[in-house]
Amino acid sequence: MFAIASSQQQYKTYTLSDQAADSLLEVVPERGGIVTRWSIQGQEILYLDAERFANPQLSVRGGIPILFPICGNLPDNTYTYNGQQYTLKQHGFARDLPWKVTEQVTQEQASITLSLESSETTRAVYPFDFHLAFTYQLQGNQLAIAQRITNHSTVAMPFSIGLHPYFLVHDKTQLQFTIPATAYQDQRTKTNHSFTGNFDFEQDEIDAAFRPLNAATASVRDANRGLQLQMSWNDTDYKTLVFWTQKGKDFYCVEPWTAPRNALNTGTDLISLEPGASLNTLVNMEVIFL
């Protein structure tokens, strides 16, 4: 049986559940359309910094933030379009703005669709008219995130889009990675490194951007928690996979991005959507218990 309930906490929260699988998902449209919780059989899958989440002046660290219209940051937080300079902060604005609920489904799955429209606020930093629709679909041990981006501008709209999921971990040394790339760039030093399947978690921070990708799936096995995360994505759209974590924090992030940092300036893997056109893409996550 699938169900969707809502409750008024600090923010209105929607809880999707699959009772047969004992899984649930919590979504907070007002706080950037974010997924804040994913639980299966009593096990928390995601990390959430509740203190930062409670402060609307801070970006959320935890859950699954939405990245649009850029992934990562820009040099000096600026880009140039048609000879005019704009300021856009790291990961864009979608994760900071309130989204609206447009559809709820409880037949064959529990799903909720949220939307975000361009506004005077967004046009001041990104001069395009757009409509975003994200559908979170919960079924069994799987979470599918279907994304539809529509360009309502009279000109082509350049953008990148991505997800920034924070996964809960207790012992990072027990993680085993299968990532579809042989090399990554350290985003802090801009140096390139070969990848053999493991990271040095004694570093204060790991910020690794993997590209090019040779497949559209990745997995992380957590022997300590007895589970494995499987992630897959639309291989025609997602071209970069980022791994990020900080020493002493109980999270790791595996982030599918359509383009690398600074794509709005460099054009690398940047999507350009024609006027009136829409792009549909998908990221799927599944938890397997070992």
pLDDT tens digit string along 100-147? 999 999 999 999 999 999 999 999 999 999 999 999 999 999 999 999
CATH topology of domain 2-289: Beta-galactosidase; Chain A, domain 5 (2.70.98)
Residue 17 corresponds to which tokens in the numbers above? 């559940």
Q: What is the pLDDT of residue 196?
A: 87
Question: With contact defined as beta carbons under 8 Å apart, do 259 and 241 qualify?
Answer: no
Mean pLDDT of 258-270: 97
Question: Are residues 226 and 215 in contact, defined by beta-carbon separation less than 8 angstroms?
Answer: no
Q: Tell me: pLDDT of 197 over 90.
A: no
What confidence tens digit (pLDDT) does each residue in 203-229 have?
999 999 999 999 999 999 999 999 999
pLDDT, tens digit (0-9, with 9 covering 90-100), for 154-171: 999 999 999 999 999 999
Q: What is the mean pLDDT of residues 52-62?
A: 91
73 to 35, 69, 79, 187: CA distances (angstroms): 22, 11, 10, 10
pLDDT at 70: 98
Q: What is the pLDDT of residue 235?
A: 86
Tell me the backbone φ, ψ of residue 76, rounded to 5 degrees.
60, 20
* Contact status, residue 241 vs residue 252, Cβ threshold 8 Å: no
- Non-local (6+) Cβ contacts of 137 within 8 A are 109, 110, 111, 143, 144, 145, 146
User: Among 139, 144, 137, which Cα is nearest to 284's?
Assistant: 144
Of 89, 105, 119, 62, residue with least CA distance to 252: 62
In which residue are the tokens 């299968």 written?
178
Q: Which helix (H) or strand (E) holds 259?
A: none
Beta-ladder partners of 259: none
